[in-house]
A and B are shown apart, each in its own frame.
Chain A
Amino acid sequence: GDSVTQMEGPVTLSEEAFLTINCTYTATGYPSLFWYVQYPGEGLQLLLKATKADDKGSNKGFEATYRKETTSFHLEKGSVQVSDSAVYFCALSAPLVFGQGTRLTINP
């Protein structure tokens, strides 16, 4: 069946560091790909999405490119902030299949 594998956390960085969270997937067909973010005690918020190969999703300085040849959708941000501390989930549709989540902590 379909599956998503994320890099294991937790990940701890200093403010203004470069962020990469790896995500690879296994799926039949051509799924849409998503990154969601979850802040403590809250639900998931859609961060960005891509619906076909080579699409780049972007939002709030985060980016991810749908790479069909490597079945990947890695999340990147050039300069992280303390407010980016959260758990990040990679997912494919639909219904959504989630990775296990990566807990990110940014230190000032």
Chain B
Amino acid sequence: NAGVMQNPRHLVRRRGQEARLRCSPMKGHSHVYWYRQLPEEGLKFMVYLQKENIIDESGMPKERFSAEFPKEGPSILRIQQVVRGDSAAYFCASSPKGDTQYFGPGTRLTVL
């Protein structure tokens, strides 16, 4: 059973570009979470989704960030007009029932 997949593993963008991060949950998992880890810090919750629904986006910045989890395909975290402060590791986790979460390897975003 494959684990949580994230791609790309590393992403470099210039200021003002868009970043798209993808997450494929474990088979049978319908709950997806996104977290952000700034250098030398813990992880901070961003958004919680189920198929076609955003359940909790209380951790998402109000502007430039959006997330979706369509009926078919991976969950996408989208960052528009990136700035240097967006440089971080972005982790996706999936869960079968909304309790124990299993993490992907992360996408490390660098904004030049």
Contact = CB atoms under 8 A, between A and B. Distances in A.
Interface string A49-75: 101000000000000000000000000
Interface string A10-49: 0000000000000000000000101010000011111001
Nearest to B4: A43
A89 B42 contact: yes
Contacts, number: 52
A95 B99 contact: no
B48 A44 contact: no
Contacts of A46: 100-103
B103 A99 contact: no
Given A36-B103, A93-B99, A95-B56, A43 B42 contact: no
Contact of A101 (B35, B42, B101, B102): B42
Interface of B: 4, 6, 33, 35, 41-45, 48, 56, 59, 91, 93, 98-106
21 contacts: A34-B100, A36-B103, A42-B105, A43-B91, A44-B43, A44-B93, A45-B103, A46-B102, A46-B103, A89-B43, A93-B99, A93-B101, A95-B45, A95-B59, A96-B43, A96-B45, A98-B35, A98-B42, A98-B43, A99-B42, A101-B42
